[in-house]
């Protein structure tokens, strides 16, 4: 079997992402997710006995069960435990739990509001998306027979699985459509005056710092992919050094830099363009010898001598350079406007969620975070 997630059930596979992706506005329409309809409670968890069907949270007439909360977290704990231990693992799980519960509640609120607003989704859209998701699940198994065995283990028929997926897809699409409508509403009539943009620019200069930048063309010959202390390495590296020196010699004799790059450079993407690398910031390459020549020694239109670095040999031509410092306001104005409008939309979204909590009444069986 080539099931990519052998410990997860078919139902749970598509539900775990609610912890990592949820209905929050960040300037684009998010994908709402949900652990799925109540039929997924057929999954049998392992470990200590718990009241898996117990109601933990009520959101209007919708419920969130212990299973909805705990099973995805149990699976994620296994994943996090491969990298984290002790207090770090527990801190990560607390944060993940809070995020998960928040998004489960928001998900229910959005669904209730979508029903109240009579948001409509075409049946064909639901059916097509559900079929794609079922096929994606099936593709994780080595054969249709293995897929059918897994369905049987979970006491599901294909028809029941399709009905589950269609319900989940419909609910997700309802949430997304509702958020689209609200996002448009949040944007309508919202703008940021130039005065506010300039105030933000003045108060947050650290956000608009730019490193020195250079527009370069390059010729590159790599070091051998061998152990540095081997005889074979030394022999092949001498050949690489001779190659870059030939390239440099042709440039000194007056041959066009671009033509030499096409003939000698081993960086195929830039070699095809005559060595054109484009703009880079100081420190981007992680090669101090390279930066020292480009940002401290060359003048615009200069061609360097051979630069020996840990990665290989370079010859560069400096096409243009811009000094570092604060980016001018006029250059950054649009980005500041987008940032402030996104923050405004996020705040309006959160205020709207608060009104939904009051409208539909969120109650907790015990204090598990709000």
Mean pLDDT value of segment 271-294 = 94
Categorize the per-residue pLDDT at 10 as very low, low, confident or very high, splitting at 50, 70 and 90: very low
Q: Over 50: is that where the pLDDT of 304 sits?
A: yes
Domains located in the chain, CATH noted: 10-194+345-364 (1.10.4030.10), 212-323 (3.10.50.40)
Q: Which residue has the higher pLDDT, 185 or 302?
A: 302
Q: Which residue has the higher pLDDT, 217 or 229?
A: 217
Convert the pLDDT of each residue in 73-114 to its tens digit. 998 998 899 889 999 999 999 999 999 999 999 999 999 999
CA angle centred on 208, ends 202 and 212, rounded to 5°: 135
Res 25: pLDDT: 40
CA–CA dist 53, 46 (Å, integer): 15
Mean pLDDT value of segment 294-298 = 95
Place of tokens 């984290």: 84
Categorize the per-residue pLDDT at 366 as very low, low, confident or very high, splitting at 50, 70 and 90: low
Q: Over 50: is that where the pLDDT of 201 sits?
A: yes
Res 195: pLDDT: 92
Place of tokens 């409508």: 181
Categorize the per-residue pLDDT at 2 as very low, low, confident or very high, splitting at 50, 70 and 90: very low
CA–CA dist 322, 363 (Å, integer): 58
Could you tell me the sign of the dihedral formed by the alpha carbons of 249, 255, 260, 263, in that order?
negative
CA–CA dist 245, 253 (Å, integer): 12
CA–CA dist 368, 354 (Å, integer): 18
Res 14: pLDDT: 38
Q: 351: which residues sit within 8 A by CB, 6+ positions away?
A: none
Q: Is 36 helix (H, G, I), strand (E, B) or coil?
A: coil
What percentage of the chain exceeds 70 in pLDDT? 84
What's the whole-model pTM score?
0.59
Cα-based distances in Å from 81 to 73, 87, 287: 12, 11, 35
CA-based radius of gyration for the chain: 29
Mean pLDDT value of segment 244-268 = 96
CA–CA dist 239, 244 (Å, integer): 9
Convert the pLDDT of each residue in 327-351 to its tens digit. 899 989 999 998 998 888 888 999 9
Place of tokens 């190659």: 243
What percentage of the chain exceeds 90 in pLDDT? 61
Res 188: pLDDT: 73
Convert the pLDDT of each residue in 20-49 to its tens digit. 344 444 333 333 333 333 332 222 222 222
Q: Over 70: is that where the pLDDT of 317 sits?
A: yes
Categorize the per-residue pLDDT at 12 as very low, low, confident or very high, splitting at 50, 70 and 90: very low
Average pLDDT, the chain: 83
Res 3: pLDDT: 37
Beta bridge partners of 216: 278, 318
Categorize the per-residue pLDDT at 245 as very low, low, confident or very high, splitting at 50, 70 and 90: very high
Could you tell me the sign of the dihedral formed by the alpha carbons of 357, 359, 365, 366, in that order?
positive
Res 92: pLDDT: 94
């Amino acid at each position: 079997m080539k099931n990519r997630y052998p410990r997860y059930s078919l139902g749970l596979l598509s539900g775990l992402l609610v912890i990592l992706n949820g209905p929050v506005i960040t300037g684009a329409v998010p994908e709402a997710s949900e652990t799925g309809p109540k039929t997924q409670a057929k999954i049998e968890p392992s470990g200590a006995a718990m009241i898996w069907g117990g109601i933990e949270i009520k959101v209007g007439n919708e419920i969130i069960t212990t299973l909805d909360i705990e099973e995805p977290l149990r699976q994620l704990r296994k994943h996090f435990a491969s990298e984290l231990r002790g207090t770090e693992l527990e801190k990560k799980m607390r944060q993940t739990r809070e995020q998960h519960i928040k998004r489960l509640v928001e998900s229910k609120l959005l669904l209730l509001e979508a029903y109240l607003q009579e948001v409509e989704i075409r049946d064909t859209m639901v059916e097509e998306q559900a079929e794609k998701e079922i096929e994606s699940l099936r593709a994780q198994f080595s054969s249709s027979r293995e897929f059918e065995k897994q369905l049987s283990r979970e006491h599901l028929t294909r028809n029941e699985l399709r009905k589950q997926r269609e319900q989940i897809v419909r609910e997700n699409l309802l949430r997304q459509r509702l958020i689209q409508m609200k996002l448009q509403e949040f944007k309508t009539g919202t703008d940021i005056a130039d005065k506010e943009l300039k105030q933000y620019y003045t108060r947050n200069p650290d956000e608009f710092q730019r490193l020195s930048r250079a527009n370069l063309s390059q010729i590159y010959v790599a070091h051998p992919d061998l152990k540095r202390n081997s005889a074979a390495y030394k022999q092949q590296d001498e050949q690489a050094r001779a190659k870059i020196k030939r390239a440099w010699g042709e440039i000194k004799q007056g041959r066009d830099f671009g033509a030499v790059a096409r003939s000698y450079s081993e960086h195929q993407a830039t070699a095809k363009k005559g060595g054109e690398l484009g703009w880079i910031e100081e420190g981007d390459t992680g090669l101090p010898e390279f930066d020292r020549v480009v940002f401290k020694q060359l003048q615009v239109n200069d061609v360097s001598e051979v630069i020996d670095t840990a990665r290989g040999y370079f010859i560069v031509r400096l096409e243009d350079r811009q000094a570092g410092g604060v980016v001018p306001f006029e250059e950054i104005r649009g980005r500041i406007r987008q940032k402030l409008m996104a923050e405004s939309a996020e705040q309006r979204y959160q205020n709207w969620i608060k009104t939904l909590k009051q409208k539909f009444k969120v109650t907790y069986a015990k204090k598990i975070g709000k």
